[in-house]
Structure 1
Amino acid sequence: MNLVFFALVAVAFAVAAVRQLLWDAGGLDEVAPMALLTDEMIAAARASVELAIGLVGVMALFLGLMKVAEQGGLLVIIAKTVRPLMTRLFPDVPPNHPAMGAMILNISANVLGLGNAATPFGIRAMQELDKLNPHKGTATNAMALFLAINTSSVTILPTGVIALRASLGSTEPAAIVPTTLVATLCSTIVAIVAAKSLQRFFAAPPPDAETEEREMDADEVTAPPAAKTPEAPAGSDEAYPLHVSLLVLLGVTALVPLTILYGREISPWIVPALMVGLLGFGMAKRVRVYECFVEGAKDGFQVALKIIPYLVAILVAVAMFRASGALDALVAAIGSFTDPLGLPAEAVPMALLRPLSGSGAYGVMTSIMQDPATGPDTYVGFLVSTLQGSTETTFYVLAVYFGAVQIRRIRHALAAGISADIAGVIAAVTIVGLLFGAL
């Protein structure tokens, strides 16, 4: 991450410096390249803090619900249901560990296109995974794989993109559901393969014996023996029979055609139903839902404070890269090569920006679909909509998730995430071309 961060800043500064030296001050309304770079840096730093503050409420809401689900035993139930798959993907995580349930809730939220709900669940999963981390500050294999899956995130219902398409007058706002599903399935498969393949080349450093001894001594002083290994809930060490897992998987699969046919009608119900369902489950399990919810919501404020420095660093670097003109130069350089492959020059900024800046990519997508020459129901419109729904802001996820648990050495997480992004773009171009006539 050190190299990526410095490279973005250094390239942005170099490009802006060249433009500044060649700049003609004759145009009174034109802003000097270096002045523009400075303004964008300050604006990005301010926006980073505003973004973190805006996440406080959302995190408090969903982490509160997460706490109720955990106290009621829902996470254990979910983990037991999908244990055959999760234990193979995450062999280093105990099957009944809270991290399993948190990861499943995060993946489920992404499947439904609920980015706001997925982030708190993902942060909670990272916090739980960090409890199993023998090398504090270094990403584990499970963390890297989870982040790669989160970056690719199989999506059945890209609710936000569908709503935007509808607002821009699309006659087929939900037409991107099958294209998004295919693209995210491909990117998720690549994410898993990449993370599993690369982990052997990015071995975690051996623990420092002196540091490990100091940590053990501190544990002995600050925590009684019973506090180190909490007793698992009764029955949590046994998975459900295989046929139960298969039935649940079939039930989830059956939701796919329903979301395609009734996606717009279903999407407004998801978040309210999630809250009522989790609180109702807690009540049925005799959990003191109000006190439990408040206790979990407190974590939202602490997490938001932890991630602010990480957000400032990555968002300022990305803003510099855009404002300097480096991104435009990159688009101009590769646009002529991608157009014959089904990725028009108009969509190249979207493909490049999506891993770097979610808001930037959203703005590009909106401007393309607002343009009368393209619109939401053309090939380009369908392509940028699919790209928005089928790829994730990788650098944002890295900053937020790893920042929440103070991870500094990310190992192969970035490489796996970028691999998933590239696969998502290729799959999106292929499926949109097949369905909408460009290929």
Structure 2
Amino acid sequence: MNIIFLGIILLAFFTSAYHQLTWVPSGADDIAPMQALTTALIEASKSSVELAIGLVGVMAFFLGLMKVAEAGGLLHIIARLLRPLMVRLFPDVPEDHPAMGAMIMNMSANALGLGNAATPFGIRAMQELDKLNPVKGTASNAMVLFLAINTSSVTLLPTGIIALRASAGSADPAGIIPTTLFATLCSTTAAILAAKFYQRFFVIDAQKASSDIDSSVGPGHIDYEVTDELPDANSAAYPAWISYLSLLCIVAFVPLAIVYGRSIGPWIIPVFVVSLLSFGAYQGVRVYEVFVEGAKDGFNVAIKIIPYLIAILVAIAMFRESGAMHVMISAVGSVTILVGFPAEALPMALLRPLSGSGAYGVVAATLQDPAIGPDSYVGYLVSTLQGSTETTFYVLAVYFGAVQVRQVRHALAAGLTADLVGIIAATAACYYLYA
């Protein structure tokens, strides 16, 4: 991100410098390119803080609701639903191993848009998977598949981007739920298929694996210790038919949401609020106290992102005002527009796999742009991309770094394949609904 941030600033400066040196004023009211760049810088700094302040209330509200749902055990219900599917996806991981529970909890948190809660479970899962890894320092097939699914996880509720759209004045902040669900279902399916397919070309040295196992835990046996740190995740799963029926309902909701998206949209937020609070109350949660506790976390999150917003919004504003963005968009956008992908969404698609904070700043700047707005086709598309794709390089660096894995094998290829499919699916869904 250091290189990207500095590169955008330098490119904007040198582009404006060129325009300044070749500038010929045509009237007294003309603004010099460098003066326009300075004005854009200052205005972007102000608007980024205003955006963050407007985001505080919405973020606090949504995280308060999610805290109620979490306290009521919704995360663990989803975990139990996923367990029969996980056993089939990860046949190399014993059913009662802590890695299985940690992976389930990670995916459940991602499905609810709880990125902060998902990361600790993801790191824990990688640590447990590493105990089953026969070749230390090299990613196992289970590690790669978990990372691929993690970077494309099915998202039922993209709470963060809904909050951002609401703060940007959207009349339909939850309108991205069906498009995000469709895109993540497609990208997750692609991630699983890609990881299974690519592993054929990245075979682990069986002789080395055998020798590592022999020297560590004995012939043909990998020892592990089941702990009680994740008791709910490792508790008895629901019957398999319930899990598959739930998955079928989610898949069936996608075409319904796409066809009737405009009719369903106004209902989503009110029904969501009533459902989560009612669920929490039914589970015996003191909904008011827990909501307030979660809202405090939302306030802290909104405040913490102010420096990131300032940095990226200023850089993007300078890049746009200098004319460098126009040159890039004109060059590449003339090709992507042919397949329904507008040039204005290109910065988001290119930056999202590299930097989460950078992509967040880009989508925030796009939604705040008066020429675009949150409820335009581009606004829906960049919002869907933010909610349905992941910072692939960051996830690989953090999760593999936690277990000192240097040979990532096909993990990056699988993750980027899922990102590409997610972008295509998001474009198709948004084009159908909002173009």
- Does TM-score exceed 0.5, indicating one fold? yes
CA contact (8 A) 1:358 1:393 kept: yes
Cα 1:431–1:247 shift into 2, 3 Å? closer
| Match among 361, 373, 379 for residue 377 of structure 2 | 379
Q: Does 1:84 pair with 2:79? A: no
Match of 1:194 in 2: 194
Question: Which residue identity lines up with residue 181 of structure 2 in the other structure?
Answer: L
CA distance in 2 between counterparts of 1:338 and 1:426 reads 11
Do residues 113 (structure 1) and 113 (structure 2) align? yes
Q: Deviations over 1:158-187 (max 9, x none)?
A: 101111111111100100000000011111
Deviation at 1:237, TM superposition (A): 11
- Matched letter for residue 129 of structure 1: L
- Residue of structure 2 equivalent to 1:169: 169
SS at match of 1:154: coil
Matches within 5 A, 1:29-40: none
Contact kept? 2:134, 2:209, Cα under 8 Å: no
Q: Does 1:427 align with 2:425?
A: yes
What letter is aligned with 1:202?
F
**Partners of 1:157 and 1:259 within 8 A in 2:** no
Give the AA of the match of 2:413. Answer: A
**Equivalent residue runs for 1:277-292 within 5 Å:** none
- Per-residue CA deviations over 1:330-357 (Å, capped at 9, x if unaligned) read 6554221001211111100101111011
**In 2, are the aligned partners of 1:177 and 1:260 still within 8 Å (CA)?**
no
**Within 5 Å, which residues of 2 pair with 1:12-411?**
82-206=82-206, 207=208, 215=216, 241-246=239-244, 261-263=267-269, 266=272, 333-411=331-409
Relative to 1, partners in 2 of residues 1:149 and 1:29: Cα closer, same or farther, differing over 3 Å?
A: same
- The structural deviation recorded for 1:245 is 3.9
In 1, the alpha carbon distance for the partners of 2:183 and 2:214 equals 47
CA distance in 2, matches of 1:429, 1:380: 10
Cα 1:370–1:403 change in 2 (3 A) is same
Task: Give TM-score scaled by structure 1 length.
Answer: 0.63
Q: Which amino acid aligns with 2:393?
A: F
Give CA deviations for 1:34-77 in whole Å, capped at 9, x if unaligned. xxxxxxxxxxxxxxxxxxxxxxxxxxxx9xx9xxx9xxxx98x9
1:95 and 1:237 in contact (8 A); partners too: no
Does the 8 A contact of 1:183 with 1:427 survive in 2? yes
Per-residue deviation, 1:205:
3.1
Q: Identify if the C-alpha distance between structure 1 residues 411 and 228 changes in structure 2 by more than 3 Å, giving closer, same or farther.
A: closer
TM-score where L is the length of structure 2: 0.64
1:200 aligned counterpart, secondary structure: helix
Residue type of the alignment partner of 1:101: G
| Residues 26 and 95 of structure 1: CA distance in aligned 2, closer, same or farther (over 3 Å) | same
What is the rounded CA distance, in whole Å, between the counterparts of 2:284 and 2:223 in structure 1?
Answer: 28
Summarize deviations over 1:383-428 as a string: whole Å, max 9, x none.
1001100100000101111111111000000000000000000001
Aligned residues: 343
1:369-395 CA distance string (max 9 Å, x none) = 111111000011011001100100000
Q: Percent identity?
A: 56
CA deviations on 1:91-148 (whole Å, 9 max, x unpaired) are: 1111111111111111111111111111111111111111100111111111111111
Equivalent pair of 1:147/1:413 in contact (CA under 8 Å): yes
Q: CA deviation at 1:250?
A: 7.1
SS at match of 1:92: coil
Q: Root-mean-square deviation (CA), in Å? A: 4.9
Counterparts of 1:394 and 1:25, CA distance in 2: 36
Partners in 2 of 1:358 and 1:180 — Cα distance? 17
Gap regions ≥5 residues in structure 1: 31-61, 218-224, 281-318
CA distance in 1: counterparts of 2:131 and 2:284, whole angstroms:
25
CA distance in 1, matches of 2:209, 2:223: 24
Q: Distance in 2 between matches of 1:265 and 1:354?
A: 30
Question: Structure 1 residues 213 and 253, CA, compared in 2 at 3 Å: closer, same or farther?
Answer: closer
Deviations 1:221-273 (A, max 9, x none): xxxx998555999xx898764345456657878999899844467479979x9
Distance 1:196 1:277 in 2: 40
Residues 280-314 of structure 1: CA distance to partner in whole angstroms, max 9, x if unpaired? Answer: 9xxxxxxxxxxxxxxxxxxxxxxxxxxxxxxxxxx
